[in-house]
Amino acid sequence: MNEIRRVAVVGAGQMGSGIAEVFARAGLDTIVCEKDPTALRAARGRIDRSLHRAVERGRIDPTDREDTWAHLLFADDLEALSDRQLVVEAVVEEEAVKTDVLTTLDKVLVAEDAVLATNTSAIPVTRLGIATTRASHVLGLHFFNPAPVLPLVELVSSLHTDRTVLERVETFARGTLGKRVIRSRDRAGFVVNSLLVPYLLSAVRMAEAGHATPEDIDAGMVHGCAHPMGPLALADLIGLDTVEAIARSLYEEYKEPLYAPPPLLSRMVEAGLLGRKSGRGFHVHRAG
């Protein structure tokens, strides 16, 4: 099979922008696809700020930043992705939306060996793959936020994913992207979120019950357990809507109470208090 050099990301949110930056910094011909022009403009700004921070912190030099931009294109139509070898779906964590994107991409992609990857945090890949005619070429490629900084990628094969496809993408993620890859079976939440989300939900329940303030809960884990960030600050970073969506997927799969979204979390999502991306969640956040 040919080396993967032509890639795309569908979805220009926080995760999609980060994945696109990872691809472009690796010298790949990268297209970011998003039908909303406002979201595309926001993605440009997000990537620009991220690259500036990378230069300031010495992770890349100014020449690398310019080279990254040279490898990025932006499009508002999935038809522009017809020649891609790998497309990563990074839209909102809703099964119906992801399925619609993957179904359309299945019709658009020309190469028979083109791979469709989903960045889902918790939705079983098998359910997404069977919405296409190429389930053997669909897998999970789950990056973590911020994607340009965190080294981990979860690689998830469905019951249909071809072994050679899995190995091809693992080689790509390890070699071309320089990521640390772990494999997971196709169960809701995979490895990381199956462990992480119950911890975050426990912190939400503690705040909901009034046992401690969000500030003290986070300080306890940062200063008492040497965590780099407290659970409620981390939930705000991930996005409370995303945390709730992952929790619902986990609860649907396992039916265990520890995975059920607490009422406080659901009310905050309904109120639009989503964390950093909305400016307020369990903490108040400055724009940018």
Task: Please give the positions annotated as active site.
Answer: 121, 142, 154, 193
Structure-token match 């119950």, residue found: 198
Q: Please tell me the total number of residues recorded for the chain in this structure.
A: 288
Separation of alpha carbons 273 and 253, rounded Å: 26
How far is residue 210 from each of residues 13, 239, 242, 274, measured CA to CA in Å? Answer: 33, 22, 24, 20
Are residues 123 and 44 in contact, defined by beta-carbon separation less than 8 angstroms? no
For the chain, where are the E strands, in sequence order? 6-10, 29-33, 72-75, 86-89, 115-118, 138-143, 152-157, 180-184
Closest CA to 260 of 251, 252, 268: 251
